[in-house]
Structure 1
C-alpha cells in the first residue's frame, strides 16, 4: 500500500483583511479601517488661555480594499495631569478636515479630575474611500483664566480603543467595520496664562573681537504673550568654544539692563569656570523681573573676556546658549518655575570669535 499523504504543517499567515497576491487585486475578505497618528501631528507644546482654533491632535483613517467605509462617530479619551479641579481647559471642540467641520462643537465630559472624553457623531457623511486615507484634526478653544482655566494642566488626546470608532460599509450601510491601530495619542498640550518668546543677536563684531573686561557679547530679548504678563525667574547660560577651553582662567558674567546700566532685576554677577569639553555654565536665580503683556524686554549678556584663551595662530570661538528646557524658568502668575517649551531649545544666544 502506498504511504499516507503528509499534511502541510506550515502555519497560515494571519488574515488582516488585506488583498491577496496573484495577477490582480483580490478583494479583502473583510472591511478594515486603520487609525494612526498623522505625520504632521503637533509636537508637545504650551497653549495660552483664551487662544481659539487650537489643533490638539491629527490622525489618519485608512480603508483597506474591501470597499468604501463610512465613519459615523468617534470618541476621544483625554488624559490630564497637574489638575485638581473638575474643569475642562478646552471648549468648543470640533473634528475638522481642513476648513470643513465634520463633528461638533462638543464639550468634554469628565469622569475624574485627570480623565475625560469627547464624543462626536459626524454631521456630514465621512466616507473613507477604498484604498485611501483621510486626515482629520481635533480642534478646540482654550478656556480663559476668568472662566476657570487651570494653569499648568497638561492634556493628551487619543483614540484609546477600537470600539471608540464606529464605521459601516457604504454599499449596505449595515456591515460593521473592524477598526485597528488603537491606541493612538497626541503629544501633550500644557495650558498657561501666557508664555515667552525668545530672540537674540550678537553685539559688536562677530569675528576678530578684542578681549576686554567689559564685553557685551549678546542682546537677549524676551517677549510676553499679549494674554498676560510673565516674570523671568532664572536663566542658565552655557559658554562653549576655544575661548573658554578647559583650564582657562575663570571669568565673570552679568545680565545688564540697558535702560539702567545695572543688573537685570535681582541678577547677581556669576563666575564661570571653564572645564572639560571646553564649556562652562552659570545660573542666575531669583531674577524676578516682570515683563508686561505683549511687551519685550532686552538685556545684555556681559562677560569679562580679558583672560579668554588666546592662540597666536587661530581665532577662539565663543558660543553662548540656553541648552535645556530647565535652563530658563518663568512664572505666569499662577504657576512658578515653568520651563521652556521643548521645541525652543537649544537656543543660541550669541556666536562670536576673538582675534
Structure 2
C-alpha cells in the first residue's frame, strides 16, 4: 500500500469477518383487461381491427416479457369439430400485438398457422373454432420490456376478412408460466390469463327502414314539394358507411306526382327526377356518410298534380343503396331492416290527396260586446272573427274577405275607414263601405299571403272603423239624419256578397268554407251618450240614522259631441235596512240650488217590504239637460231614520241603477226613449253602499 500524500509505502492491517446478505426484491407484472377494450360489433373487411386491449403493469423493476400465448374464440356457423386453419384464415389474417406507444410486440402472423404447435406453451392450432397461438416462445423470446412502475396497453389486432362467417369473436391472453424476468433481480415470474369481450360480426353494415315517426300524410292536390316518404339508414357500430347512391321505386300511383327528389335534412341528395312513371326505379347519386352506430333520415319529396284524389299507398319504395365502409373501404349494400325481407325493402308512407283544405268561421269570444257608439268616434273595434283550419292539410291564405254590415233599409252608411287587423298589426284597409242599405259591404281584396291560417290552427281577424260625426255629411246628407239611433251588426260568410276567398298556402287549391256565418254583437249609433257613476258619501259603516241622510253622489255625464236630456231615473234599494215595510223618502238634490233637480216636485218614496228591497223613481221635466262634455252631480238623500234596526247587528243597504232601462234619456236627435249602455251598467251602477249601527 502507498500513502497517497507522500507516496511512500505503508503497512496495512486487515481484520477478517463475515459480510451481510443483500436480497434484491423481485419485480412483478400484473395483466388485466383495459377499461377501453372494444365491445359491440366488428366489420367485415376491417383492417387492423382491435379484438382486445390488455394492460400490463411492471411493479418494482423493469420486467421483460419473453412470450405470450393468445387465443381467438369464434362462435357461429363456422364453429364445428372439423374446423381447420383454412377456415380460420377465412375469418382473420395479419394478427398483431401492438402497445400504446406504437411498438409492435413480436411479429405479424400474416396467415393463421399451427406449424409451431409444439413451440408455444399452449398447443397452437385450431379446435372447434378455438384458435391458439403465441407471440414468442421459451426458445425464441420477444424480449418486450415494460419499464418499472409503468403501465403498457397491449392491443391484439387482426384483419377481419370479407369472407368471415363467424357470429362472435373473443380475444384472450391465456397466461404463461415463467414467461417474465426482472431486469434487476433476474428473477422469473408468470403472467395471468385475461379474457376480452365477445365482439359481434356486423351481418349488415347498413340497414334501411321506414321512418316510424313520420306517419301517413294528407295533402291537397296541387301541393308543391310534398314530403311523400321518409326512410332511415342505420350503420352498424363496427364502422360508418359512405353512401354513393340510393334507388327509389315508384308505385302504381306515381303518375299523380312529379319532380321527385331526395333530401337529407335541408340538403338535396342527387338530382331531381322530373316526370315519373309507374313502377319505375329512380337512382340518386351523391355523398352521404352514415356514422358508425348512427343513422341518417332520407326524405322523398314530390309535387302533387291535380289529376286524381284519394289514398295512394306507398307512393315511393326504397329499392337499394350502395357505398363503402369508412374504415375498411369495402363495398357495402344496404339491407332491409328487421321486419322486411332482403328482397322487399320498405314502402313509403300512404299519401292521401284531397280536393283542398276547409275552414270554419266563428265569432271570437273576445269580440266587442253590444254597445252604444257616439258619432265621431274613431278606431272602433267592431267584430273579431276566428278562421279555423278544419282539414289540417296545409296552411290557408285568405286573399279576399267581404264583411257585410246589416242595418236598416233607410240607414245611411254608418262606418268609414274600415281596417282589418291581426293582433296588433293592421293588414288591410282603410276602405269604404260599398253597395247600399240594408247590406253594405266592406270588401278587402288582393291580400295575397298577408293572412295565413296555420295548419290545424286559428287566425283571428278584427274589423275596425270610424263612426262619422254628425256634421260629416255621410251618405250625401248634410245632417246625417238617417244615422242617429240606428243599430248595425257585421257578418262574414252569409251570402255571395259576404264571401271569403281562400287558398291552400302550398297547393293554391281552393279552400272550402265548410261552416259558420257569424254575426257580431249590435252597435247603436247615437249623437251623444249619457253615462252615470256613483259614490258613497260619509261613513260606509256604523252610520247613524237621520231624517236627511246624505248617503251618496250620482254623477251624470254627457259625451262631448252633444248635450243629453235625462227624463227618468229608477234606483234600487237592497239590504236588511229596507226590510221593515216602512216608506222611505228619497231625494236627488242639486247642490248648486239645494233643491230637487230637474223640476221634481216631491221626494220619491221607497216602500220597503218582502225581499229586503224597494225602488224609488224620479221624473224630470225641466232644466234636465246635461251640456256637451259636462257633468252634473246630484246628492242622494234618504230618510234613514225609517230604516230597519236589528239592534244587535249592523243593517246594510246598497243603492244601484240595476238595469240599463232604469234610465230614460235623449241624445238630441230624440228627447226620450234611450237607455243606458248595457256595457256601462254591467251588473249595476252602485250609487251608495253603506251600513248602519
Which TM-score band (shorter chain)?
Answer: 0.7 to 0.9
Change (3 A) 1:128 1:25: farther
Q: Is 1:116 equivalent to 2:430 in the alignment?
A: no
Shift of 1:334: 0.6
8 A Cα contact 1:73 1:166, kept in partner: yes
8 A Cα contact 1:249 1:273, kept in partner: yes
Gaps of 5+ in 2: 1-212, 220-353, 473-478
- 1:252 is paired with a residue whose SS is strand
Distance 1:281 1:200 in 2: 17
Q: Is 1:75 equivalent to 2:75 in the alignment?
A: no
Q: Is 1:294 equivalent to 2:294 in the alignment?
A: no
Shift of 1:291: 1.4
Shift of 1:305: 1.4
For residues 65-91 of structure 1, give each alpha carbon's deviation from its aligned partner in whole angstroms, at most 9, with x where no partner exists.
21121111111122214x734x11111
Q: Residue 311 of structure 1 corresponds to which residue in structure 2?
A: 646
For residues 78-125 of structure 1, give each alpha carbon's deviation from its aligned partner in whole angstroms, at most 9, with x where no partner exists.
2214x734x11111112122343323222223443x332222104452
- 1:326 is paired with a residue whose SS is helix
- 1:265 is paired with a residue whose SS is helix
Q: Residue 612 of structure 2 corresponds to which residue in structure 1?
A: 278
Q: 1:35-184 to 2 correspondence within 5 Å?
A: 35-63=361-389, 64-81=391-408, 84-85=410-411, 87-112=412-437, 114-123=438-447, 125=449, 126-147=451-472, 148-149=479-480, 150-161=483-494, 164-173=499-508, 175-184=509-518
TM-score relative to the length of structure 1: 0.87
Q: Residue 27 of structure 1 corresponds to which residue in structure 2?
A: 218
8 A Cα contact 1:102 1:124, kept in partner: no
Gaps of 5+ in 1: 1-21
Q: Residue 342 of structure 1 corresponds to which residue in structure 2?
A: 678
- 1:184 is paired with a residue whose SS is coil
Q: Is 1:260 equivalent to 2:451 in the alignment?
A: no
8 A Cα contact 2:416 2:467, kept in partner: yes
Change (3 A) 1:293 1:124: farther
Residues paired across the two proteins, number: 329
Shift of 1:332: 0.9
Distance 2:379 2:590 in 1: 37
- 1:306 is paired with a residue whose SS is helix
Distance 1:129 1:205 in 2: 57
8 A Cα contact 2:398 2:447, kept in partner: no
Change (3 A) 1:271 1:25: farther
Distance 1:24 1:285 in 2: 73
- Larger deviation: 268-277 or 253-262? 268-277
8 A Cα contact 1:234 1:287, kept in partner: no
8 A Cα contact 1:102 1:122, kept in partner: no
8 A Cα contact 1:70 1:170, kept in partner: yes
Change (3 A) 1:199 1:186: same
Task: For CA contacts below 8 A with separation 6 or more, give which structure has more relative contact order.
Answer: 1
- 2:592 is paired with a residue whose SS is coil
8 A Cα contact 1:250 1:273, kept in partner: yes
- 2:629 is paired with a residue whose SS is coil
TM-score relative to the length of structure 2: 0.46
